[in-house]
Amino acid sequence: MINIVLFGKPGAGKGTQAEFLKEKYQLTHISTGDVFRYNLKNDTHLGKEARVYMDAGDLVPDELTTKMLIDEVNKHPDTNGILFDGYPRTIAQAQALDAFLTTINSSVAATIALEADDEILVARLLERGKTSGRIDDQDEEKIRNRYQEYNDKTAPLMGYYKEQNKFHAVNGIGTIQEITQRLTQVIDQL
């Protein structure tokens, strides 16, 4: 079982790239955003709690996010591996993920960060917000708040995974195919 964490700031292309990677490596793609949207759309208890944070442009607290993700992983007991898209976002989440994976005799094989300039990402999200209907993609101030949250809480994950020799940075600017090629070069070396 190969588990890969794909992370980067909102708009970095995690979802787009995950679609290609899940097919190529026959992985189960678990997107934090998709899990949240499911819970929001279905007005679950967890979805109601998450909505308060998301509408403010904040990250959902670790405990709530972790519960949703573990529930989702448990739906795929026979998978070749999981491609985590947008999780973990904090060291506490990474530790919770490591602890959970240990209980199913697995671990994170690698983390890959899609890196891109904030100004390019803001433009991407504002454009996506025109068609996605996502409130958090339609307000530049909320987008920038999400980036500050990322810098404060998620960026420290680099050090956490570097200490385990599992961190890889990939340039997230270019064509979809160019970025996919960069990602597959990393994964093929695992």
The residue range of the domain holding 131 is 3-179
Model pLDDT, residue 179? 96
In a domain, 189, yes or no: no
Annotated ligand binding at 129? The verdict is no
In a domain, 15, yes or no: yes
Residues recorded for the chain:
190
Annotated ligand binding at 73? The verdict is no
What's phi and psi for 110, nearest 5 deg?
Answer: -160, 155
Annotated ligand binding at 51? The verdict is no
In a domain, 188, yes or no: no
Q: How many domains does the chain have?
A: 1
Annotated ligand binding at 86? The verdict is yes
In a domain, 190, yes or no: no
Model pLDDT, residue 135? 82
Q: Which of 54, 106, 63 has its CA nearest to residue 88?
A: 63
Annotated ligand binding at 185? The verdict is no
Model pLDDT, residue 151? 84
Distance from C-alpha of 5 to C-alpha of 112, rounded to nearest angstrom: 6
Annotated ligand binding at 12? The verdict is yes
Distance from C-alpha of 32 to C-alpha of 96, rounded to nearest angstrom: 15
- Averaged in consecutive runs of 10 residues, what is the pLDDT profile of the chain (190 residues)? 91 90 96 86 90 83 89 92 90 94 96 93 90 85 88 86 96 94 95
pTM score: 0.83
Distance from C-alpha of 179 to C-alpha of 46, rounded to nearest angstrom: 34
In a domain, 69, yes or no: yes
SS (H, E, C) 44-90: CHHHHHHHHHHHCCCCCCHHHHHHHHHHHHCCCCCCCCEEEECCCCC
Residue 49 sits in a domain whose CATH number is: 3.40.50.300
